[in-house]
Structure 1
Amino acid sequence: MLDTIKADIERLIAAYEREKGRNASLSAALEESRREAATCKKKIEELNKEIEKLKLQTVFTGSSADNEAAKKKVDKMIRELDRCIALMEA
């Protein structure tokens, strides 16, 4: 009976240690995800500002070549925004 209790206690201690390690791993992953989300939010803000600048620039430029280049750049920024949003949602 004493051996059974001792074995149960050892199993509980081993389970506790496993869960403690798992918790530490998950906490580290959560922190990394939070840092990545903050980075993406900052990038989104920067890209939104750049988009607004490009929109204003496009209004003041009359060249269709410039408009096409600005459109391509805005499209690229939108794709980057979409990627960051997808990372934040993951």
Structure 2
Amino acid sequence: MAVKSIVTELGQRQARLIDDHRKLVALCGKLASERDALKEEKRLLEQKIRNLDHELSKMQLTAGLAGGSADKEKARARVNRLMREVDKCIALLNKPQ
């Protein structure tokens, strides 16, 4: 009789483990899809931040060039930086190959 109860108990434990495994596999799949959705949302938000930073930079440049703005020095520095980049590009174009 003791052997029969041990076998029955092992069978119950096995069934419980299989059930727990199925639940964990389902939960893992759900969490993986949620993770993927959050990664995509993060990517979109980062892209939006980059676009807004670019737009802000253009607006600051415009405001600085318009005069009378606190961003005038920033605008002047940015224009100078852009001019240096243009000069470098021209120099590379004029460089003999």
How would you bin the TM-score normalised by the shorter chain? 0.5 to 0.7
Q: Which residue of 1 aligns with 2:58?
A: 53
Q: Which residue of 1 aligns with 2:22?
A: 17
So what's the TM-score if we normalise by structure 2?
0.61
Separation in structure 1 between the aligned mates of residue 57 and residue 37 of structure 2, nearest angstrom: 30
Structure of higher RCO (CA pairs closer than 8 Å, 6+ residues apart): 1
Q: Which residue of 1 aligns with 2:45?
A: 40
Percent identity of equivalent pairs: 20
Separation in structure 1 between the aligned mates of residue 20 and residue 41 of structure 2, nearest angstrom: 31
**Amino acid paired to 1:26:** L
Which residues of structure 2 form unaligned runs of 5+?
A: 1-5, 70-97
Offset at 1:62? 4.5
How many equivalent pairs are there? 64
Separation in structure 2 between the aligned mates of residue 10 and residue 4 of structure 1, nearest angstrom: 10
After TM superposition, where is structure 1 displaced by more than 3 Å over at least 4 residues in a row?
none
So what's the TM-score if we normalise by structure 1?
0.66
Separation in structure 2 between the aligned mates of residue 23 and residue 60 of structure 1, nearest angstrom: 55
1:3 matched to 2:38? The reply is no
Q: Which has the larger radius of gyration?
A: 2
Separation in structure 2 between the aligned mates of residue 60 and residue 49 of structure 1, nearest angstrom: 17
Which residues of structure 1 form unaligned runs of 5+?
A: 65-90
Q: Deviations over 1:36-68 (max 9, x none)?
A: 11001111110010000000110122489xxxx
